[in-house]
Chains A and B, each alone.
Chain A
Amino acid sequence: MASVDQSGFPILSLLLWLPMLGALMVLLIPRANEALVRNFAFAISIIDLALAALLFGMFIPEEAGFQMVEEFEWLPGLGASYHLGVDGISLLLVLLTAFLAPLVILSTYSAVKDRVKGFMFSILLLQVGMLGAFLALDMFLFYVFWELMLIPMYFIIGIWGGERRIYAAVKFFLYTLFGSVLMLAAIIYVYYIHMQQTGTATTSLLGLYNTAFSWDEQVWLFGAFALAFAIKVPMFPFHTWLPDAHVEAPTAGSVILAAVLLKMGTYGFVRFAFPLFPLGAMEYVPIIAVLAVIGIIYGALVAMVQPDIKKLIAYSSVSHLGFVMLGTAALTPMAVSGGLIQMVNHGISTGLLFLLVGVIYERRHTRLISEFGGLAKAQPWYAVCFLVATLASVGLPGTNGFVGEFLVLVGTFNSDALPRIFGCNYAGMVLAGVAGIGVILGAVYMLWMVQRVFFGPLSNKKNQGLKDLSLREAFVMLPMIIVIFVIGLFPNIFLSRVEPSINAFVEDVRERGELAQALSDTDRETQVDTGKKEDGNGN
Chain B
Amino acid sequence: MSDQTTNILLWIPLVPLIGAFINGLWGRHFPKPLVSLIGCATVGVSFVLSLIASASVLAGHGEIRMVQDVYSWIAIAGLSISVSFVMDALSVIMSLVVSGVSFVIHIYSIGYMHDDDSYARYFSYLNLFVFSMLILVMADSIPLLFVGWEGVGLCSYLLIGFWFEDPEKASAGKKAFIVNRIGDFGFLLGMFILFGAAETLSFDGLAEAVTAGTITPYIATAACLLLFVGATGKSAQIPLYVWLPDAMAGPTPVSALIHAATMVTAGVYMIARLGFLYSIAPTASAVVALVGGATALFAATIGITQRDIKKVLAYSTVSQLGYMMIGVGVGAYFAGVFHLMTHAFFKACLFLGSGAVIHALSGEQDIMRMGGLRKKLPWTYWTFLVSTIAIAGFPPFSGFFSKDEILWKAMSTASNAGWATGWVHMAAYLMGLIGAAITSFYMFRLVFLTFHGKSRLDPHVHVHHEMPVMSWPLAVLAFLAFIGGWVNASLAGIHGFKHFLDPVTGHAQEAAVTLKHFAHSHSAEWAAAAASVIAGLIGLFLAWQMYIKNPDMPGNVAKSLRGVYRMLFNKYWVDEIYETLVINPIHRFSIFMWKIIDVIIIDGIGVNGPARFMKRLGGIGRALQSGNVQTYAFWLFTGAAGILIYLIYVAEIL
Contacts and interface: CB of A to CB of B under 8 A. Distances in A.
Contacts of A406: 74, 143, 188
Q: Is the interface of A mostly helix, strand, loop or mixed?
A: helix
Interface string B557-598: 000000000000000000000000000001101110110011
A491 B78 CA distance: 15
A533 B143 CA distance: 21
Instruction: Please classify how large the interface on chain A is, using the bins under 10, 10 to 19, 20 to 34, 35 or more.
Output: 35 or more
B598 A302 contact: yes
A377 B167 CA distance: 13
Interface in A190-244: 237, 240-241
A289 interface: no
Interface stretch (A142-150, A260-268, A391-399): A391-399
13 contacts: A240-B598, A240-B607, A374-B164, A391-B154, A397-B151, A402-B150, A413-B196, A436-B189, A440-B185, A444-B178, A447-B157, A456-B170, A539-B78
A413 B192 contact: yes
Contacts of A298: 593, 597
A63 to B, nearest CB: 16
A515 B275 CA distance: 40
Given A409-B188, A439-B188, A455-B164, A537 B77 contact: yes
Contacts of A169: none
Contacts, number: 152
Give the one of B147, B167, B178, B192 with max A CB within 10 A: B192
A414 B195 contact: yes
Interface in A430-481: 432-433, 436-437, 439-440, 443-444, 447-448, 451, 454-458
B174 interface: yes
Nearest to B121: A380
Interface stretch (A11-19, A330-338, A364-372): A330-338
A439 B184 contact: yes
B192 A492 contact: no
Interface in B151-207: 151, 154, 157, 161, 164-167, 170-171, 174, 177-178, 181-182, 184-185, 188-189, 191-193, 195-197, 199
A407 interface: yes
Contacts of B75: 492, 495-496
A451 B151 contact: no
A334 B78 CA distance: 8
A391 B177 CA distance: 11
A447 B74 contact: no
Contact of A302 (B184, B185, B594): B594
A174 B602 CA distance: 16
Contacts of A455: 161, 164-165, 167, 170
A305 interface: yes
Nearest to A167: B608
Contacts of B165: 374, 377, 455-458
Contacts of A433: 189
Contacts of A490: 71, 73
Interface string A377-400: 100000000000001000011100
Interface in A500-537: 502-503, 532-533, 536-537
A376 interface: yes
Contacts of A491: 73-74
Given A333-B77, A433-B189, A443-B181, A396 B195 contact: no
B483 interface: no
A448 B594 CA distance: 17
A455 B157 CA distance: 13
A303 to B, nearest CB: 9
A26 B78 CA distance: 49
B72 interface: yes
Interface in B617-641: none
Contacts of A306: 594
A183 interface: no
Interface string A487-499: 0011110011011
A421 interface: no
A169 to B, nearest CB: 14
Given A429-B192, A440-B185, 8 more contacts: A332-B77, A396-B154, A409-B188, A410-B79, A440-B178, A491-B74, A499-B76, A536-B196
Contacts of A69: none
Contacts of A537: 77-79, 196, 199
Interface string B208-244: 0000000000000000000000000000000000000
Give the one of B71, B167, B196 with max A CB within 10 A: B196
A301 interface: yes
Given A301-B593, A492-B72, A237 B602 contact: yes
Contact of A440 (B146, B182, B593): B182
A409 to B, nearest CB: 7
B151 A302 contact: no
B523 to A, nearest CB: 50
A240 B602 contact: yes
Contacts of B185: 436-437, 439-440
A451 B76 contact: no
A494 to B, nearest CB: 10
A456 B164 contact: yes
A455 B594 CA distance: 26
Given A305-B591, A410-B79, A495-B74, A454 B602 contact: no
A407 B150 contact: no
Nearest to B188: A436
Given A337-B77, A499-B76, A376 B151 contact: no
A495 B78 contact: no
Given A377-B165, A409-B192, A456-B165, A397 B150 contact: yes
Contacts of B591: 305
B606 interface: yes
Contacts of B177: 443, 447
B3 interface: no
A343 B629 CA distance: 61
Nearest to A236: B602
Interface string B514-555: 000000000000000000000000000000000000000000
Interface in A31-58: none
B196 A414 contact: yes
B636 to A, nearest CB: 36
A337 B76 CA distance: 8
Contacts of A391: 154
B196 A457 contact: no
A533 B181 contact: no
B209 to A, nearest CB: 12
A451 B167 CA distance: 8
Contacts of A454: 164
B603 interface: yes
Contacts of A409: 188, 192
Contacts of A407: 74, 76, 79
B174 A451 contact: yes
A334 B76 contact: yes
A537 B80 CA distance: 12
Interface string A168-183: 0001001100000000
A482 to B, nearest CB: 14
Interface in B45-80: 71-79
Contacts of B76: 333-334, 337, 407, 495, 498-499
Nearest to A387: B158
A116 interface: no
Contacts of A414: 192, 195-196
A200 B78 CA distance: 42
A106 interface: no
Contacts of B73: 489-492
A428 to B, nearest CB: 9
Contacts of B72: 492
B311 to A, nearest CB: 22
Contacts of B195: 410, 414
A296 interface: no
A397 B77 contact: no
A179 to B, nearest CB: 13
